[in-house]
Amino acid sequence: MYKFLNHIDLMIDFISTKEKPIILEFGVERGSSTKKFIAFAEKNDAKIYSVDINDCSGVSNSDKWKFLQSDDLEIDNVIRNFNEIEKVGVDLIYIDSYHEDKHVQKLLSLYFKYVKKNGAIFVDDVDNLYFRKNKDTWNSIVYDLTIDAIKEFYFNNTDKCSLRIIYDADENGLAMLHKKDDFGNDANKIQKIWNYNFLIRLFYPYMRMISKIFK
Ligand SMILES: C[S@@+](CC[C@H](N)C(=O)[O-])C[C@H]1O[C@@H](n2cnc3c(N)ncnc32)[C@H](O)[C@@H]1O
């Protein structure tokens, strides 16, 4: 039977199917997601690697958790500090750091290779309904651009992953890229995929009306 799960529980549900899972998290802040991952790791022989540009080392002293203060785009630094990522790969990456379309897309392109086959990358905050309700133009645009960037990554990598988007008004949406390809294989380079002219979309309802009149 379908059960509703919040984002963290949904990821924990996913990771529970893996043996000795490894989680890589981008964005810790006060550690709300981190602490839940750690609680899971304590009971399930998992490991959590977290990265934040600010010092969040005080979030936990669990030996299941390692923290690195770094820009998450600095992949060489991340891998140097968490070398298991390069050796055996990770089962789950959780992206909840800098919510900007190009940043998210770069993270996907950089780290996709290190996800194991059947592992997944989750990206938080991809649905702008909350901001639209509050008539917040800039954040509405940022969230729309983020989901567009994730879709563009997916369109370029349909042979390597599937994309699922979980929309729920309470949590601002979660995207899940489920990897079909083997650990160690790079993501395809992002290329622009043809799309229709946006102006035509604006005029489309009127064009349809006019065409009906003349039918
Ligand atoms: C939304 S908060 C993370 C929330 C956390 N996952 C939770 O559930 O409580 C975003 C975090 O990303 C961090 N951040 C922003 N840009 C970053 C970057 N380029 N690299 C790493 N961390 C970054 C910020 O310092 C902030 O702590």
pTM, 2 dp: 0.95
**Cα gap 126→95, rounded to integer Å:** 11
Q: What is the pLDDT of residues 193-209, one digit of tens each?
A: 999 998 999 999 999 99
| Ligand 1 probe mutation, 48, 52, 59, most atoms within 8 A of CB | 52
- The torsion of the CA quartet 80, 85, 86, 91, rounded to 10 degrees, works out to -170
**How much is the mean pLDDT over the chain?**
96
Which atom, in ligand 1's list, is nearest to the CA of 97?
Answer: 12
pLDDT band of residue 215 (cuts 50, 70, 90) is confident
CB 123 within 8 A of CB 174: yes
Q: What is the pLDDT of residues 46-89, one digit of tens each?
A: 999 999 999 999 999 999 999 999 999 999 999 999 999 999 99
| Ligand 1 probe mutation, 97, 99, 105, 110, most atoms within 8 A of CB | 97
Domains and CATH numbers, the chain: 7-189 (3.40.50.150)
Residues linked to residue 144 through DSSP beta bridges, in sequence order: none
CB 141 within 8 A of CB 116: no
Which residue has the least CA distance to atom 9 on ligand 1? 32
pLDDT of residue 188: 98
Strand-pair category, 115-124 with 90-95: parallel
Does ligand 1 lie within 6 Å of residue 6's CB atom? no
Q: What is the pLDDT of residues 126-146, one digit of tens each?
A: 999 999 999 999 999 999 999
